[in-house]
């Protein structure tokens, strides 16, 4: 396995491998860029089949966080960590404390948050060994509701605002009444997004691999159940991938019948070139790292008490950022994902120049 020559390495600042003899912890922390501030990113626990797969995942996710935070104008860099193991079988308090010690060794360059396979309560266990943990404080959230650190409500709201911006741009309408939306994955984020959309009058089709999730969306929101095979290919206005990454690829893109792709899942494009493929087909793609930044925006306010309305307005600026990306994409005749990366890179350069004085 190569590291510096790894295809996903992309100028990472730091990569650490942590092992704990007593608990068997095997974890990796990747820090992509700290020009704008400490690298905040989730700690994912997953039973990777190979170490290569874990390294690839942590590098890709960590880079994504740099771009996400820069586009959302946060004073944060990009980083991520992974624990190799099954959350159901291998997660113990001792292992999480060992992860906390590993995070602590970096002295705050990396700050861990919740991710798939870890929960707010897991992060609280890590907090026993390091202060460099985020998304664990109970407070009033952006929506005025009590909040326990789970970023999903903010991510779902930001994604909803992003869908509105995409609809305004692509379909020229301000309301969502009767808008047809297919949602793949109705978990923490997808379900809440579905609820916002239903409240705004949209008609929903949903698919989830877990029956219980699917039933909740059907029973509580009146969504129409769709099969795994059909959910991506329904003739709808908006397709919202909210389950897993790499759903937009050579096989799926030619078969899409949507006008817009706007969902919360990370790394929706299987390869960077799929951005161009969507653009050529006239499908408006809301870049994932732009539209799903609500959670990180919310977490960024954790240590500086702020009026919920201010946080909410920051999340709502996701809509303005997307509109700017769509406009530039049309003007410069370039796909939206590429424009989003360029805008984030401009912001990183500004931060690096400012830091050098
Ligand atoms: P989650 O695990 O709560 O929900 C994901 C749902 O997708 C689950 O209900 C699962 O059963 C379902 N699913 C899995 N594979 C599927 C498939 N092949 N087809 C249909 N459904 C499938 O996760 P979440 O927190 O809702 O996150 C959803 C996506 O959004 C993930 O890609 C995540 O990385 C991304 N994201 C989440 C946040 C956040 O705040 N939670 C922030 C940014 C990005």
Between the alpha carbon of residue 300 and those of residues 69, 111, 303, 338, the distances in Å are: 9, 11, 7, 25
Q: What pLDDT is stored for residue 157 in this prediction?
A: 98
Which residue do the tokens 């997660």 mark? 91
- Distance between Cα 90 and ligand 1 center (Å): 21
Q: What is the distance between the alpha carbons of residues 329 and 276, in angstroms, rounded to a whole number?
A: 11
Task: For domain 3-64+75-136, give its CATH number from 3.90.420.10, 3.40.50.10860, 3.90.1150.10, 3.30.2130.10.
Answer: 3.40.50.10860
Greatest C-alpha distance within the chain: 59
Indicate which atom in ligand 1 lies nearest the CA of residue 154. Answer: 40
- Mutational test site, ligand 1, from 150, 151, 184, 188, max ligand atoms within 8 Å of CB: 188
Q: What pLDDT is stored for residue 271 in this prediction?
A: 92
Collapse the DSSP code of 42 into the 3-class scheme (helix H, G, I; strand E, B; otherwise coil) and give the result.
strand
Over the range 184-197, which residues count as b (16 or more CB within 10 Å of their CB) and which as e? bbbbbbbbbbbbbb
- Distance between Cα 344 and ligand 1 center (Å): 25
Indicate which atom in ligand 1 lies nearest the CA of residue 152. Answer: 40
- Mutational test site, ligand 1, from 185, 215, 223, 286, max ligand atoms within 8 Å of CB: 185
Q: What pLDDT is stored for residue 27 in this prediction?
A: 98
- Mutational test site, ligand 1, from 245, 264, 315, max ligand atoms within 8 Å of CB: 264
Comparing CA positions, the residue from 271, 320, 256, 301 lying closest to residue 137 is 301
Q: For the chain, which ranges sit under pLDDT 70?
A: none
Comparing CA positions, the residue from 99, 79, 75, 83 lying closest to residue 31 is 79
**In which region does residue 254 sit, left (phi positive, over 0), alpha (psi from -120 to 50) or beta (all else)?**
alpha
Q: What is the distance between the alpha carbons of residues 221 and 199, in angstroms, rounded to a whole number?
A: 9
Q: What pLDDT is stored for residue 264 in this prediction?
A: 98
Q: What pLDDT is stored for residue 116 in this prediction?
A: 86
Give domain limits for the chain. Answer: 3-64+75-136, 146-338
- Distance between Cα 11 and ligand 1 center (Å): 28
Catalytic residue check, 68: no
Instruction: Assess whether the region 3-64+75-136 and the region 146-338 belong to the same CATH fold.
Output: yes
- Distance between Cα 136 and ligand 1 center (Å): 20
Candidate list 68, 80, 91, 349, residue with the active-site label: 80
Beta bridge partners, 238, equal 181, 260
Q: What pLDDT is stored for residue 273 in this prediction?
A: 96
Tokens of 220: 């509580």
Rg (CA), the chain: 20
Q: Are 124 and 97 in contact (CB under 8 A)?
A: no
Indicate which atom in ligand 1 lies nearest the CA of residue 288. Answer: 44
Indicate which atom in ligand 1 lies nearest the CA of residue 292. Answer: 43
Q: Could you report the per-residue pLDDT of 108-157, keeping only the tens digit for each? A: 999 999 998 999 999 999 999 999 999 998 888 899 888 888 899 999 99
The terminus-to-terminus CA distance of the chain in angstroms comes to: 38
pTM value is 0.95
Q: What pLDDT is stored for residue 149 in this prediction?
A: 83
CATH of domain 146-338: 3.40.50.720
Q: Whose CA is nearest to atom 39 of ligand 1?
A: 152
- Listed in sequence order, the DSSP H helices in the chain are 51-71, 87-90, 93-104, 120-126, 152-171, 188-199, 211-221, 274-280, 288-291, 294-300, 308-332, 336-356
User: What are the backbone angles phi and psi of residue 285, rounded to the nearest 5°?
Assistant: -105, 120
Pocket of ligand 1 (CB under 6 A): 116, 151-152, 155, 184-190, 207-210, 213, 228, 242-244, 264-266, 292, 295
Beta bridge partners, 83, equal 27, 45
Q: Whose CA is nearest to atom 14 of ligand 1?
A: 243
Q: Could you report the per-residue pLDDT of 287-313, keeping only the tens digit for each? A: 999 999 999 999 999 878 889 999 999
Q: What is the distance between the alpha carbons of residues 29 and 3, in angstroms, rounded to a whole number?
A: 13
- Distance between Cα 134 and ligand 1 center (Å): 20
How far from the centroid of its chain's Cα atoms is residue 222's Cα?
26
Indicate which atom in ligand 1 lies nearest the CA of residue 267. Answer: 32
Over the range 272-296, which residues count as b (16 or more CB within 10 Å of their CB) and which as e? eebbbbbbeeebbbbbbbbbbbbbb
Q: Whose CA is nearest to atom 20 of ligand 1?
A: 208
């Amino acid at each position: 396995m190569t590291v510096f020559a790894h295809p996903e390495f992309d100028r990472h600042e730091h990569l650490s491998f942590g092992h704990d003899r007593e608990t068997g912890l095997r974890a990796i922390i990747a820090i992509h860029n700290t020009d704008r501030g400490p690298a905040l990113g989730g700690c994912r626990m997953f039973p990777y089949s190979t170490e290569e797969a874990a390294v690839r995942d942590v590098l890709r996710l960590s880079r994504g966080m740099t771009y996400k935070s820069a586009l959302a104008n946060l004073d944060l860099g990009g980083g991520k960590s992974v624990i190799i193991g099954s959350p159901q079988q291998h997660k113990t308090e001792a292992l999480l404390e060992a992860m906390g010690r590993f995070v602590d060794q970096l002295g705050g360059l990396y700050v861990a948050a919740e991710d798939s396979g870890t929960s707010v309560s897991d992060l609280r266990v890590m907090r026993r060994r390091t202060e460099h943990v985020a998304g664990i404080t109970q407070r009033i959230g952006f929506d005025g509701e009590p909040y326990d650190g789970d970023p999903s409500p903010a991510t779902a709201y930001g994604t909803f605002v992003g869908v509105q911006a995409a609809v305004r741009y692509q379909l020229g309408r301000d309301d969502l009444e009767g808008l047809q939306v297919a949602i793949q994955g109705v978990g923490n984020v997808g379900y809440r997004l579905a609820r916002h959309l239903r409240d705004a009058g949209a008609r929903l089709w949903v698919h989830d691999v877990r029956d219980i999730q699917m039933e909740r969306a059907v029973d509580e929101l009146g969504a129409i159940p769709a099969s795994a095979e059909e959910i991506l290919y329904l003739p709808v206005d908006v397709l919202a991938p909210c389950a897993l990454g790499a759903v937009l690829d050579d096989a799926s893109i030619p078969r899409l019948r949507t006008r817009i792709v706007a969902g919360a899942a990370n790394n929706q494009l299987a390869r960077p070139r799929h951005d161009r493929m969507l653009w050529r087909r006239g499908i408006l793609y809301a870049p994932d790292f732009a539209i799903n930044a609500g959670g990180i925006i919310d977490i960024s306010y954790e240590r500086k008490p702020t009026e919920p309305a201010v946080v909410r307005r920051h999340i709502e600026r996701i809509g303005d950022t997307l509109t700017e990306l769509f406009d530039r994409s049309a003007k410069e005749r370039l796909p939206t994902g590429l424009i989003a990366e360029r805008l984030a890179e401009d912001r990183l350069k500004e931060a690096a120049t400012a830091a050098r004085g």
